Amino acid sequence: MRRRMIIMAGAPVIAGALALSACSSGGSKGGGGGGGKPTYTIGFQGPLTGPNAQLGINIDWGVKLAVQQANAKGDLPFTLKVKEADDQGDPAKGPTAAQQLIGDSSVIGVVGPTFSGATKAAEPLFTQAGMASVSASATNSSLTDPANGFKTFFRIVPPDSAQGLSAADYMTKVLKVKSVYLIDDKSDYGVGLAGNIKSQLTANGVQVTGDSVAAGTNDYSAVATKVANSGAQAVYYAGYYADAAPLAKALKNTSFTGKAMSDDGTNDPKFIQLGGSASEGWQMTCPCLSATASSDEAAKKFVSDYTALANQPPGTYSPEGYDVTNTFIQVMKPLGSNVTRAKVVDGLRGVDYKGLTKQIKFQPNGEVTEKGIYVYEVKNSQITAIGTVDKLISG
């Protein structure tokens, strides 16, 4: 099958903290809405500042757009507001951010957390509060393990076990590499994803060597030299764009000529902005849909509306953030003026909502039923969609 090359949003960064603050509000349960309607708040938790803030900002604007559109229709039995909690993507800050939302009685559910580590740290609090958190992006496979007791956690993206398997199969069956150098960033997300990739590569008969380099490392020249000296035909980095970019620059200064790949944490125009020409040719796997690459009319309208509101095109996980918010609204609307955190959790367990990215239905453990892993590539300084792994393998 011919590869489909479509331009994804080459996005400059961001509207900024002032715009985000202006759109943020707490609201109050049971009153204060327009026309005597009660007011309910949908929370957002993710990085709005810090080295990988763009991934949170992408989702946050999707949340705001969905709420703005829902209120504008005028047919809701309540008024919606948005409250943000910035965890900087840091697991250590996850519980504090979660508590900011839990402590506001008007918040009936949370879009997020965005990163897996922060999710793992925050979920015990959300479960204790009986409040649903639905992530648009946290993919660590262990998050939905029933042994964790995260009883109010849901996500609309497939886990890293699915991305890891697809990434390994893509490298094996499409790129046809025989050896891979695998690097993780020592985060819950990076380590988990790298482990899934390694297992499948090994099963495929591919030679795997690797390293772990903590996120925030200043100098990637040492590991880049290791990659080049290893003779590996491909390198895969499991981590976020803030570190993938300096790694790409370091690799460019070596003799490495193999294929360079990374994941959804790197699949953002910020990677190109930070990595410059060194990012050219890198490929990324992602359980995310590029709305800007879609020919669907609803997706085109989303891109237009999102860009008008955020003053930037949607990025990675923007459509998923929009879908999560609309899923909340789908559950809340029949509840009228009797929306509670417990009723929202119950509603999510039975929801069946057609979003921009997929049909949203949850398994008992909170995993979304529909799965799909895409491959993107940096081409001419823009992220382009190549296609789904399944279709690329089938040819």
Mean pLDDT of 19-25: 32
pLDDT band at 300 (very low <50, low <70, confident <90, very high): very high
Residue 25: pLDDT above 70? no
> What is the C-alpha separation between 321 and 300, in angstroms, rounded?
16
pLDDT band at 289 (very low <50, low <70, confident <90, very high): confident
Maximal C-alpha separation, the chain: 69
Q: Tell me the percentage of the chain whose pLDDT exceeds 90.
A: 83
Q: What is the pLDDT of residues 237-255, one digit of tens each?
A: 999 999 999 999 999 999 9
Mean pLDDT of 39-49: 98
Which residue is associated with the tokens 């829902």?
A: 70
Exposure letters 140-166 (e unless 16+ CB within 10 A, then b): bbebbeeeeebebbbbbbbbbbbbbbb
The half-sphere exposure of 30 on its side-chain side, counting CA atoms within 13 A, is 3
Closest C-alpha among 126, 39, 24 to residue 85: 24
Give, for 300, the enclosing helix (H) or strand (E): helix 297-310
Burial of 124 (0-12, 13-18, 19+ CB in 10 A): middle
Q: What is the pLDDT of residues 151-207, one digit of tens each?
A: 999 999 999 999 999 999 999 999 999 999 999 999 988 999 999 999 999 999 999
Q: Give Cα 170 distance to the centre of its chain.
A: 20
- Please say whether the beta carbons of 114 and 56 come within 8 A: yes
Q: Give Cα 16 distance to the centre of its chain.
A: 20
Other beta carbons within 10 Å of 305: 16
**Cα–Cα distances in angstroms (integers) from residue 25 to residues 41, 132, 209, in the given order:** 8, 19, 49
Closest C-alpha among 191, 383, 209 to residue 286: 383
> What is the C-alpha separation between 264 and 52, in angstroms, rounded?
12
